[in-house]
Structure 1
């Protein structure tokens, strides 16, 4: 290839890189500004003590963060002692949380756990083709997981809860590994653990039979395996990708991100045809294993629909409903008639979808809806503390205080991820970061059209924490005139 041709490709690659970073910066800026609006309307004038508590909490995190950056990184044993200590502190904190909240399983979590009582393998999970598990047959994957856990440990919700904590600790560990892999900076990696572990909005759902933590872990492991760029790891990545899709059905956005990453960075930029083919192998393994799993679900008699989505309209009906800001709404539930068949209800939902689109067009409400949905998904409370049902055992004052502290954790994550996204333009990092950012952006775009809930961002908060660690690291550097230089510490990794 001529020198001129190489320059054109290099320029094109630079444009792509800057475009992706610009999209991330726009996204985090929007989340940050909408967070300020949410805080202003929901917390600023609610309680004077909250402001003081919030400031003290933030200062404490900055102080701890500073301390973590002062611990040397060239001692392999000391470094892992720090990391393991942080993970143990988190696990103790998370188990304490579980001990203080009710074990009652609510909403979708109850659909998973409550049905396991007296369940016999082979019994169908539904009575009609319009029931929860017939419409959302893809949820059968997590149901099987919960069933296996109950068979091993007995029908005790603590087994699910404890495993959730283990998965969360592993998520923190992989967040750390991502930062080391991408930025070669152990101090930043420690900070990534810190800003994620203190986010109660992220970990509060561990008391529920939630599929988000195990699903998130599978996807993160998949990303990390692909980053190793070795055949055996690509094969394992196909297995973990399958696991993620079986447990938490957000696989399409993850797969889309992986494909775009392979095309842009492995094929176009590096001309690494072997790595590109290995990614293809990962996807082939996924499709084969997922198809076999769906067949197995059918063959077992658990769900005749396998792992499909038999109600694709509903997510769009709720997601494009302007009155509910694209979130779950009891008013929208009135459309559902359990006495009708899925075929009949599909017609009703399609008609309603056309009405929602017509309303948005006639009232020029698309942009306002997208703004409201972005705030609801990325900038408001995740509502995880509400899902933990703390109102059942604690006073209103205590609940309000917990909800506020949970949101402070989100404020820290949102703020420093915003700062980190801006710093990416002048920071050296390897292309592996794009493997995390592309699925994040795909997820953010898709959620503009379908139903959103604050807790849906939980899977991608580790990615936000990776970017946020850069923001916190730079903030600490700016607040104190010291050199927080990262040494070449691959041996401590």
Structure 2
């Protein structure tokens, strides 16, 4: 993060460093205020939580009302194709179109279609629902902290450091599948943590929903399986809970298969929910010159006039070239370092996707982008402190149910294409760890203040 900040913002504006410091101090001040509100009154506590969620919701709605509603890139693929679309019409013309190559995106397309059928072809409906999902994500972040750390004050702090991260919430103006997908996955984790049969069954349903909307299911499932084997089976010897987790996965596989069949049966996509271009993510992800990100140079490889069979051969050949380059130049480690920085500590580019350049000056856009990244800086700093504090803190093993999918995601992203916004689904998990870091800093500052008072009193009494 420090490297990225130095390269992109340190010399952009003389006031940037002052803004970062002031923002951190403001978070500490607000955080201190939140921890001073008593926690033994349930009514008061929920009033605090609801107030924070309302402040966020109003702010987010103001955001989407001020930014252009134009849908860009992949988001446009979802929304623009909905105009005059009729169920049964194929989503593609050739086997090398967007929805034929990435048929798994049909799940979110169906969601957007249902929303447009209910509310009409108005992008505000998608945007408003995104804000609702974000508010619910904040709520579940709060619930996770209580479940894992049993600390209401920390739970309030988790809401605070996530809600102020413009890099996290600025994508709500687009037809993005990340917020609803993230919500489904968080609900799945929370249901599994309840350790009751009915909740494991419901978790299978919500896991299916998450995979239909945002197809990062393999890393989520990998994390769940490792959690079940290590913490439920080997550590706790809880065979019943382990079997229930696998019941969740069986329900998921059945429902997901049925959903894929349904997509085919309706004529929406003859490929169901498959990935027919597995090579492309690796071609871009292992490209050293672009640090594993999408680039126009790599895009030149795509020839829409060729068939998928022909393009698959081209992409496989390019993939071998990328691997050969990394081997010959011993560049694997360097690539992984650059990709880790790009994914976890660069800008998410959410404000760019909001297309604010259409209506604002370059100076204003630069300032908004910096303020957005300031939210990421705060989240990164306190989550780093919190991660160190985990070695000393007491917490439930349930935390590993959140951390293991994140780790699986981080490993997979070393090989495939990355974008800063891809971390959005996991920022609630980062905020949970960050709440521990912020709480620890506030506790340390309070201890210093208390020690200073005692010193003053001792000196006064001595005199």
Give the TM-score of the pair, scaled to structure 1.
Answer: 0.91
Q: Any residues of structure 2 matched to 1:218-257 within 5 Å, and which?
A: 218-257=184-223
Output the CA distance in 2 between the equivalents of 1:176 and 1:195: 11
Offset from partner CA, 1:354-387 (integer Å, 9 cap, x none): 0000000000110110111011100010000001
Secondary structure of residue in 1 paired with 2:415: coil
**Partner residue, 1:92:** 58
Q: Any residues of structure 2 matched to 1:24-103 within 5 Å, and which?
A: 35-103=1-69
**Partner residue, 1:192:** 158
1:162 equivalent among 117, 128, 133: 128
- Contact 1:50–1:401 under 8 Å retained in 2: no
Secondary structure of residue in 2 paired with 1:140: helix
Offset from partner CA, 1:399-426 (integer Å, 9 cap, x none): 0100000000000001111000000001
Output the CA distance in 2 between the equivalents of 1:462 and 1:482: 30
Secondary structure of residue in 2 paired with 1:161: helix
Offset from partner CA, 1:466-485 (integer Å, 9 cap, x none): 0000000001111222899x
1:320 equivalent among 263, 278, 286: 286
- Contact 1:218–1:243 under 8 Å retained in 2: yes
Secondary structure of residue in 2 paired with 1:165: helix
2:249 equivalent among 273, 283, 286: 283
- Contact 1:105–1:113 under 8 Å retained in 2: yes
Q: Any residues of structure 2 matched to 1:121-132 within 5 Å, and which?
A: 121-132=87-98
**Partner residue, 2:174:** 208
- Contact 1:222–1:240 under 8 Å retained in 2: yes
1:341 equivalent among 274, 299, 307: 307
Q: Any residues of structure 2 matched to 1:295-334 within 5 Å, and which?
A: 295-334=261-300
Output the CA distance in 1 between the equivalents of 2:156 and 2:203: 25
1:271 equivalent among 237, 242, 245: 237
Task: Indicate the RMSD between aligned Cα atoms, in angstroms.
Answer: 1.0
**Partner residue, 1:183:** 149
Could you list the runs of 4 or more consecutive aligned residues of structure 1 that deviate by over 3 angstroms after TM superposition? none
From the superposition, tell whether residues 483 and 252 of structure 1 become closer, same or farther in structure 2 (CA, over 3 Å). farther
Query: How much has 1:53 moved relative to structure 2?
Result: 2.1
- Contact 1:262–1:276 under 8 Å retained in 2: yes
2:428 equivalent among 442, 450, 462: 462
Query: How much has 1:55 moved relative to structure 2?
Result: 1.9
Structure 2, unmatched stretches of 5+, are: 451-463
Offset from partner CA, 1:277-305 (integer Å, 9 cap, x none): 11111000000000000000000000000
Output the CA distance in 2 between the equivalents of 1:211 and 1:181: 27
Query: How much has 1:54 moved relative to structure 2?
Result: 2.1
Structure 1, unmatched stretches of 5+, are: 1-34, 485-493
- Contact 1:376–1:453 under 8 Å retained in 2: yes
1:141 and 2:107 correspond: yes
Offset from partner CA, 1:147-183 (integer Å, 9 cap, x none): 0000000000000000000000000000000000000
Secondary structure of residue in 2 paired with 1:480: helix
1:362 and 2:338 correspond: no
Query: How much has 1:52 moved relative to structure 2?
Result: 2.0
**Partner residue, 1:109:** 75
Query: How much has 1:328 moved relative to structure 2?
Result: 0.4
Query: How much has 1:79 moved relative to structure 2?
Result: 0.3
Output the CA distance in 2 between the equivalents of 1:261 and 1:71: 35
Output the CA distance in 2 between the equivalents of 1:348 and 1:54: 46
**Partner residue, 1:387:** 353
Q: How many pairs align?
A: 450
Query: How much has 1:211 moved relative to structure 2?
Result: 0.1
Output the CA distance in 2 between the equivalents of 1:327 and 1:422: 30
1:409 and 2:375 correspond: yes
2:438 equivalent among 469, 472, 476: 472
Secondary structure of residue in 1 paired with 2:391: helix
Give the TM-score of the pair, scaled to structure 2.
Answer: 0.96
Output the CA distance in 2 between the equivalents of 1:37 and 1:434: 29
From the superposition, tell whether residues 482 and 89 of structure 1 become closer, same or farther in structure 2 (CA, over 3 Å). farther
From the superposition, tell whether residues 483 and 216 of structure 1 become closer, same or farther in structure 2 (CA, over 3 Å). farther
Secondary structure of residue in 2 paired with 1:48: coil
Secondary structure of residue in 1 paired with 2:70: coil
Secondary structure of residue in 2 paired with 1:173: helix
